Amino acid sequence: MSNLLVIKAHPLTATESRSLAILDTFVSSYKENQPESQVTILDIFEEEIPEIDKALFEAWGKAASNQELSAEESAKLTRFNELTEQFVNADKIVIANALWNLNIPTRLKAWIDTVVVKGKTFKYSETGPVGLATDKKLLHIQSNGGSFHGSDPATQYIKTIFGFMGVTDINHIFIEGVDHQPENAETIIAAAKEEAVKLAKVF
């Protein structure tokens, strides 16, 4: 049985967010076509996502030297590790986000920081870093006001960081140009939904 991890990286709902609307279309079709697959949805704007900050560095330092952790530090490390293991245990990952100021949302970056973990998703060898997540596949769904065709910094970052972890089987669905071509909005969204349904059958 496969395990699909869905990352909702937008604070609005599917009725307000184009990327989440396409995500809903994909997930619904995926469940119909692959009912045996386990689907886990993580809404990173609703659930706790620890950020790498001074407190987390201090907690890591205490843990490494076997010092007693405060309840808050322990909870933060536990949650961070839970998110790491959730990703490690997934076979397939879907990320849906909007392009904000040419980049991904900061909450999505915080989540990515919980899964790019030495010894879990990559390691260092004599020749450099080696990705350990080579058995995973990724679908990236992104809405853009303009049209970039995958050349935007956010998409390039997603490809680079997941490639660093060894994920090379990456598909993209772009809902782009709606703000610049509002007269074509329905056509653009319909095409993205059609692509989502198509991918859901084989992902």
Identify the DSSP state of 146. S
The Cβ of residue 103 has, within 10 Å, a number of other Cβ atoms equal to 14
143 annotated binding-site participant: yes
Q: Please classify residue 186 by burial: count the beta carbons closer than 10 Å to its beta carbon, then call 0-12 exposed, 13-18 middle and 19+ buried.
A: exposed
Q: Please state at what angle helix 18-33 crosses helix 185-200, rounded to 10 degrees.
A: 30
17 annotated binding-site participant: yes
Integer-rounded Cα radius of gyration of the chain: 18
29 annotated binding-site participant: no
SS3 158: helix
SS3 202: coil
70 annotated binding-site participant: no
184 annotated binding-site participant: no
Pairing label, strands 169-176, 122-125? unpaired
Instruction: Say how far apart CA 27 and CA 119 lie, in whole Å.
Output: 31
Please report the beta strands in the chain, taking only residues with DSSP state E, as ranges in sequence order.
3-9, 38-43, 92-98, 122-125, 128-131, 137-144, 169-176
- Structural tokens at position 199: 């991918």
Residues in binding site for FMN: 17-19, 143-146
| Residue set of the binding site | 17-19, 143-146
